[in-house]
Amino acid sequence: MIQKIDASVAQPNEKLPGVFAIVVARYNESITGKLLVGALETLKEAGIADENVLVAWVPGAWEIPLAAQRFAEKSDVSAVITLGCVIRGETTHDRYINAAVSNSLMQLSLDHRKPIAFGVLTVNTLDQAIHRSGGDVGNKGNEAALAAIEMVRLRIAIGESSSSGIGFRTLD
């Protein structure tokens, strides 16, 4: 019989371990501030206490990976949620920023064996950003926080490594 792990559903009396760190870019703050509100609401609804949430502001999306790396290195941090907004301009700089940030965050997640949720909007227009930060397309800050929560649950379900803190069990 195939066994299924469904980490999208909270367990009775669930208390998720550790700290949830949020790295949020100040650039396009009218958008990223709304993403942060969405992420914080989602964590609160999941029962994460305020004292188990850390928020660090960075200048822009380019700086997100360094702050995320520092949080990922901390043994008490269970997940990192990254929030930013890169809007295409007249040049192609957005492509380079988006690729570098997304690739860096994925690599950090793999290197540190911790969820690093990607809540960085990569949009063509300000209207698209508005719609994705609480508008008619939802709030990607909520979605990033939900992804982080689900991945922490999955790590617990798969098994924690006693030698390296919270993380995936090593199958030797």
pLDDT attached to residue 172: 39
For the chain, state the CA radius of gyration. Answer: 16
Residue 100 lies in a domain: no
How far, CA to CA in Å, does 170 sit from each of 13, 72, 128?
27, 18, 41
Residue 24, φ and ψ in degrees, nearest 5:
-130, 135
Q: Which domain holds residue 113?
A: 73-80+108-124+135-140
- Model confidence over 45-85: pLDDT tens digits? 999 999 999 999 999 999 999 999 999 999 999 999 999 99
Residue 167 lies in a domain: no
Element (H, E) at 43: helix 29-45
In the predicted structure, residue 101 carries a pLDDT above the cut 90: yes
Residue 4 lies in a domain: no
pLDDT attached to residue 13: 65
Both structure tokens of 126: 């300000």
* Cβ pair 73, 111 in contact under 8 A: no
| Nearest by Cα to 117 from 142, 156, 145 | 145
From the list 26, 44, 93, 169, the catalytic residue is: 93
**How many domains, the chain?**
1
In the predicted structure, residue 106 carries a pLDDT above the cut 90: yes
Residue 120 lies in a domain: yes
Residue 147 lies in a domain: no
- B/e letters for 104-132, b = 16+ CB within 10 Å, e = fewer, are bbeebbeebebbbbbbbbbbeeeebbbbb
Q: What is the pTM of this model?
A: 0.88
SS3 55: strand
| pLDDT confidence bin for 160, thresholds 50/70/90 | low
In the predicted structure, residue 3 carries a pLDDT above the cut 90: no
Residue 96 lies in a domain: no
Residue 56 lies in a domain: no
* Cβ pair 67, 169 in contact under 8 A: no
The mean of the pLDDT values for the chain is 89
Query: pLDDT > 70: what percent of the chain?
Result: 90
Let me know if 93 is a catalytic residue: yes
In the predicted structure, residue 143 carries a pLDDT above the cut 80: yes
Residue 27 lies in a domain: no
Query: pLDDT > 90: what percent of the chain?
Result: 72
